[in-house]
Chains A and B, each alone.
Chain A
Amino acid sequence: MINEIIATLIEIFSSNSMQIPLIQPLVDYLMEIPLLNILVALILWRPFFAVVIMPGLIVLMLYLLYIVWFERKLTARIQWRVGPLEVARPIRGAIQALADGLRYFFQEAIVHRDAHRPYFVQLPILAFIPILLPIAFIPAGNAVGIKTPYAIQLIVAFLALIPITIIAIGWASNNRFAFVGSVREALMYVAYEIPFIIAVISMIYLYGSGDPYVAVEKQSLLPGAILNPIAFLVFLITMLMATSRLPFEIPEADQEIAFGPFVEYSGMLFGLVMVLAYEKLYIMALLFVILFLGGWNGIYCDLLGDLNAPLWLFIKTIVVISILAIVRSMYARYRIDQTLRYSFSWLIAFSIVALVVGVVAGWIV
């Protein structure tokens, strides 16, 4: 009975497995061993690989470890200083984020008396649902979680749910600074959502469908950045606005309203809310690479086989995010009314121009 179940499972996993010629001998050897073979078949099953390993949860953890360290080091380099160095001195402090996370585990998470206790404690965890669900839809070559032709629209819809959780976090804290921060988050949401959606729609018109496979295939000659440069610029600026990065760090202004909606969090809850913005940046950067930079197109290496596409996607995402990290040290913070004014006058104008360019170019190509 059990043997039949295991045999059917192995058949399901092996029929849709990643082909990597480099480690194929090892895989063949391991498939002989009775219990290990189901584990190996599960790991190499394409949906599992895409959702859990790459571009999925494990790579997300590695990326978080890297981006916290890299941003601090790069900002320090521009500011005539050195940055975190002491944690693991031979590798120049690379596991600083791990030390920070460990410290948050040992700190007491205080829930103050006036807070709405269920929402206060549960919302940071619930906020991860709209952030992590798009990972199931983003493809990387042949590895994809759920294959649908509407993947790009679904990702945009999930990203639109995230600010609601942040506003609810600020409301649950019952603090006047958190209230001001929530109101600012709501206003910023209105400011960036419309140009963002119009820019994505213009690219969908350009490629003809919302399927990431079609989008990447059409970029085999020229990347999307050259086909529609105005949408490229609009997407870049709204990416900065959406993830509260300088110069638009308005909901979490540290000096004006003492860290905005997240002011009352401490301990592990604070660790959770701090990584919300970074993970949203990861998802938006993946979308950016698929739409504008050619997705997983790159030099094809025979040895790696199916691993080529996720690797190229990951490298391009890391390069994009590393270049975005430098913007933090260059600019000061805009005011909320200036942001709303520029967004509703200039950004919407640019995004409508991008829409027109997208329609025309889609009709030509």
Chain B
Amino acid sequence: MEIKIDVPVEPPKELETLFLPIPKDYVEDVYKKDDFLILVGPQHPGSGHMRLIVRVKGDIIQEVIPDPGYVHRSMEKLAENRLYIQNIPLVERPAIMDSANFNLGYVRAIETALDIEVPERAKFIRTILAELCRIGTHLYDAAILAVFLGHTTGFMYPFGIRELICEALARMTGARFTSSFIIPGGVRRDVDERTLRWVYDATFAIERRLKSFERIFIKNPTVIARLREVGVLSKDEAILYGVVGPFLRASGVEYDTRIVEPYEAYEEVTWDIVTADEGDGYARFLVRVNEVSQSLGIIRQCITSMPEGRYVSEQICDDVKGNFFDAYGNLVLPAGEYTTLTEAARGTLLFTIVSDGESNVPYRVRIVTPGWLYLRGFMESLKGERLADLQAIYGSFGYFPPEADR
């Protein structure tokens, strides 16, 4: 039973002096209806780099208004002033753990424009790099979820396991994660047999350490109690709000870009698509955990069945070392618009290059990252939950502001 007492309230003075991206009458309306505005801002231990304006009534969240753009770096505009080959280190840096997938999307757009055929060995090496980066991103997201729930051990374990993945990437390419290793026509260097043997053994070592992580975090009763039936998105809601990636698959929809429009070597290895039915926070987390096991299987199959051959297409050059500038310095794409879809770790990634046919810099590069696509679904799933669940749902979605803001 609610008792109404008519007490005249005014919004607190600090909300008048702060700059808020919401209209003033909204603030007054909130306070007249006896709600409370909490600003979970960019400098907050639990918000990433994004401002969230949360409207609570008691302990129940009524509405959340996001304010992205704190880490906007204007990558699309910067890409218009650089050569096509110089854009590769630029576009792989929105989400630096996931750099191989971003790299792959951009380079495939150039290859579609120039009609370049990629040799088989290069395709397998690219697949191994993409899957290693996918595992790295899922481990990073699991660690951030752990720290939002207050479980510091669950934060240290995935970052320790990620160290092995960075070592694998360093052995293959030379840099720890943003490697700029994928170029139009293939990869930059060949990978020898000893390194592949090491990566094969490392996948088993990763699985053993993941079992410790599973016992102490994934099957922890407090974690299950915190994430179960929290932030539920049903199947229709997920499709309506445009959610992508493993968060869509956790609501029961079987959609994966690697199956719908296969690229690289994904048709030649056998793997399963992982879905769940409930659509709550724990299902989203478990889908990503199982995807890590699937990725480890893909890497093992790629290593055992790696074909011999060239590592860069003969349409470009014989050997990259020494000929890098002559082969790529003056790339000119024919006029038109070229689009590719890639499955990054957090969802579908779209790259579009518009070229005017004459210049050696692109006319327009358009990047649509998965974080930007599922932001709406994330905000809708917060309605009606408790204030403490804001961090749990944030962690279960794995929202990464630098990737969404580019």
Contacts and interface: CB of A to CB of B under 8 A. Distances in A.
Direct touching of A and B (C-beta under 8 Å) = yes
Most buried by A among B146, B150, B154, B160: B150
Contacts of A80: 156-157, 160
Contact of A79 (B46, B149, B156, B389): B156
Nearest to A336: B388
Interface stretch (B176-184, B219-227, B246-254, B368-376): B219-227
Interface string A327-351: 0011111111110000000000000
A254 B45 contact: yes
A330 B223 CA distance: 11
Contacts of B388: 253, 256, 335-336
Contacts of B36: 176
B388 to A, nearest CB: 5
B44 A81 contact: no
B38 interface: yes
Interface in B197-230: 216, 220, 222-223, 225-226
A330 B156 CA distance: 12
A247 interface: yes
Interface in B44-84: 44-46, 59
A333 B225 CA distance: 10
The interface size bin for chain A is 20 to 34
B53 to A, nearest CB: 13
Given A330-B153, A330-B216, A255 B160 contact: no
B146 to A, nearest CB: 7
Contacts of B222: 247, 331-334
B225 A338 contact: yes
Contacts of B59: 336-337
A75 interface: yes
Contact of A176 (B38, B216, B223): B38
Interface in A204-255: 246-247, 249, 253-255
B150 A255 contact: yes
Interface in B69-107: none
Interface in B350-395: 386-391
Given A249-B150, A335-B389, A337-B59, 10 more contacts: A78-B153, A80-B156, A177-B38, A246-B150, A255-B147, A331-B222, A332-B150, A333-B151, A336-B59, A336-B388
4 tightest Cβ-Cβ pairs between the two chains A and B:
A333-B150, A255-B46, A79-B156, A332-B151
Interface of A: 75, 78-81, 176-177, 180, 246-247, 249, 253-256, 258, 329-338
17 contacts: A79-B152, A79-B156, A79-B157, A80-B156, A177-B38, A180-B38, A247-B222, A253-B388, A256-B387, A329-B152, A331-B222, A332-B223, A333-B150, A333-B222, A333-B226, A334-B225, A338-B225
